[in-house]
Amino acid sequence: MTRITIGPFNRVEGDLEVRLDVESGRVQRAEVTAPLYRGFEQILEGRPPLDALVLAPRICGICSVSQSVAAAAALRHAMGTEAAPNGLLATNIAHAAENAADHLTHFYIFFMPDFAREAYASQDWYQETRERFAATRGSAARDALPARARLLETMGIIAGKWPHSLAFQPGGATRAIELGERVRLLSIVTSFRTFLERTVFADTLENMLSLSTADELDRWRAGRSGDFAHFLRLADSLALSELGKGPGVLMSYGAYQGADCGLFPRGIVGPDMVVEPLPLSQISEDVSHAWMRDCSSDPAHSNTVPDPDKAGAYSWCKAPRLSGQPVEVGAIARQTVAGQALIADLVAPSGTNVRNRVIARLIETARIALAMEQWTRALRLSEPFCAPSQEMPDGAYVGLVEAARGSLGHWVAVRGGKIERYQIIAPTTWNFSPRDSLGVAGPLEQALVGTDVGEAGARSVAVQHVVRSFDPCMVCTAH
């Protein structure tokens, strides 16, 4: 048995170290470490509750809207008030823009460059892939970065700026949109659709979303140009559907807000593919292998206090569990729980894996591009965008949203007009959790077991595909 340490693990958001025990060229055991702790939960304690709207988004520069929306949802719950419907629509549009930008950033900047590495020089697709996807030098970045910047102009209109906006409030959003601005928003959404249809899919979004089986996807991609079809060819060539299998249970808190309860539903789904209600009270956090002091396992009652010298610990990340089990979150979980036909047909036989995670992200991007257009048209321009704030009585409150990378929850306890406790469980906290007190490994730790690293050891590109297929956000993980 050889133990190898991989780090710095870059082209993820934030800091990550992975340790692998390897025997006969295969990973036997993995330990995943979040090596950065900043202490946001400690920083928030004792402050006025609304200050969370300034501080909590700054956990993450890549999903600050998600953190904002989670904080605003928790505080809205604390106020016992309802947001202005326009405010929720504007929030949805901005949140969708951020999530779509994240999916693009992941695909083009973080994930695809691994296929342009020297390790694949003997493949017949190598030259084409290198020209298109090489990190910082490939032609894809010249297409994707301007498209991303244009999409983020949504933020200039709705949120003032990105990242780190204060526009998302318990009562809605701080800026009433006028007719000219709605037209500008539609223009941005149309540009985004054009980028997706020309560059990513080489087909219309409607055609993409009409594909409902793995066979249809195979027929669709034959001879097709576009970066998605290119990825599907690589996925076949490298058998990415057999790489990085997840733990089996998928969870979604439900995504986007509205009178009709949002775009993607809340729920959990197991290997039997039956969607069931989410037992919220069964969420717990274990710190047996985290550099954290023991406290309540219920996020509504726990604190976050570092214990840097704790024996047996190897990460600043806690280990969240649902009914005692690790679960996988992310676009693949959202789309499976939502019953998206193609994703369900891919997940049913092969579960979650490197290929399916990437496909789910891109199919979700097509879905939210269409939703952004509908939400923009649904704004009632003469009506309010923000309901006034209310007093916050003592109590424990929760805000649950879906960030690009999966389920994000903020648990806040208010006492005497101050934050008594603030607990955050971020998507990558779920996916990159360390072991729990029973020794059960987290989802990535499980997904890495069995990976063939061959002679490459720490340089194994397969390990990089598995890790980056989760699109980890390490700055969110330990906060």
Rounded Cα distance between 336 and 33, Å, is 28
Q: In angstroms, what is the minimal distance from the CB of 386 to another protein?
A: 4
For another protein, which is the closer residue by CB, 144 or 424? 144
152 Cβ neighbours under 8 A, 6+ residues apart: 97, 98, 101, 162
* Binding residues among 36-65 for another protein as defined by CB under 8 A: 36-40, 42-48, 50-51, 53-55, 58-62, 64
Least separation in angstroms between residue 86's CB and another protein is: 10
Please report the DSSP string for 288-336 in residue order: TTBSB----SSTTT----B-TT-TT--BS--EEEETTB--B-SHHHHHH
Least Å distance between CB 324 and another protein?
Answer: 30
Q: How many positions of this chain bind another protein (CB under 8 A)?
A: 93
Q: Does position 24 bind another protein by CB under 8 A?
A: no
For another protein, the closer of residues 55 and 214 by Cβ is 55
Q: Which residues pair with 325 in a beta bridge?
A: 322
Closer by beta carbon to another protein, 229 or else 386: 386
d(CA 298, CA 430): 15
Question: How far apart are the C-alpha atoms of 73 and 67, rounded to whole Å?
Answer: 10
Residue 446: CB minimum distance to another protein, A: 21
**Residue 454 binds another protein (CB under 8 A):** no
Residue with tokens 């069931």: 276
Judged by beta carbon, residue 174 or residue 288, the one nearer another protein is 174
Q: Is 21 in the site for another protein (CB under 8 A)?
A: no
Site for another protein in 169-208 (CB under 8 A): 169, 171-176, 178
Q: Which of 438, 430, 447, 445 is nearest to 321 (CA)?
A: 430
The strand pair at 395-403 and 2-6 is best described as unpaired
Does the N-terminal peptide bond of residue 8 adopt cis geometry, omega within 30 degrees of 0? Answer: yes
Going 58 to 59 to 62 to 67, the CA torsion angle's sign is negative
Task: Give me the least distance between CB of 444 and another protein, in Å please.
Answer: 14
Q: Smaller CB distance to another protein: residue 70 or 173?
A: 173
Q: Which of 80, 127, 137, 270 contacts another protein by CB under 8 A? A: 137
Residue list 273-302, contact with another protein (CB under 8 A): none
Nearer to another protein, 32 or 358 (CB): 32
Neighbours of 440 (CB within 10 A): 17
CA–chain centroid gap for 373, Å, is 22
Nearer to another protein by Cβ, of 142 and 281: the residue is: 142
Window of 1-9, 74-82, 235-243, 258-266 that interacts with another protein by CB under 8 A: 1-9
- In 3D, which of 406, 318, 446, 246 has the Cα closest to residue 34? 318
Closest distance of CB 147 from another protein, Å: 9
Residue 149 burial by CB count (10 A; 0-12/13-18/19+): exposed, middle or buried?
exposed
Q: Using the rule CB under 8 A, which residue among 159, 317, 322, 426 binds another protein?
A: 159
> Based on CB atoms, which residue is closest to another protein, 189 or 268?
189
| Pick from 368, 405, 443, 448: nearest CA to 13 | 405
User: Closest approach of Cβ 280 to another protein, in Å?
Assistant: 28
Cβ-based nearer residue to another protein, 77 or 148: 148
Q: Is 385 in the site for another protein (CB under 8 A)?
A: yes
Closest distance of CB 184 from another protein, Å: 8
- State which of positions 387-426 bind another protein (CB under 8 A): 388-389
Q: How far is residue 18's CA from residue 256's CA, in Å, rounded to a whole number?
A: 33
The answer to the question of whether 60 is labelled as a binding residue is yes
> Do the annotations mark residue 295 as ligand-binding?
no
> Quick one: 38 or 415, whose CB is closer to another protein?
38
Footprint of another protein on 214-233 (CB under 8 A):
none
Upper half-sphere CA count for residue 66 (Cβ side, 13 Å)? 31
> Residue 401: enclosing H or E segment and its boundaries?
strand 395-403
Asked if 294 and 287 count as a contact pair (C-beta separation under 8 A), the reply is yes
- Judge residue 135's burial from the number of C-beta atoms within 10 Å of its C-beta, 0-12 exposed, 13-18 middle, 19 or more buried: middle
The answer on whether 317 is annotated among ligand-binding residues is no
Q: Does 464 bind another protein (CB under 8 A)?
A: yes
Distance CA 180, CA 294 (A): 54
Stretch that binds another protein, among 128-136, 216-224, 253-261, 269-277 (CB under 8 A): 128-136
Site string for another protein, 64-93 (x = CB under 8 A): x-----------------------------
Contact region for another protein (CB under 8 A) — 74-82, 141-149, 271-279, 403-411? 141-149
Q: Any known ligand binding at 479?
A: yes
Do 396 and 212 meet the contact criterion of CB atoms below 8 Å apart?
A: no
Annotated binding site for Fe cation: 63, 476
Annotated binding site: 41, 60, 63, 424, 473, 476, 479
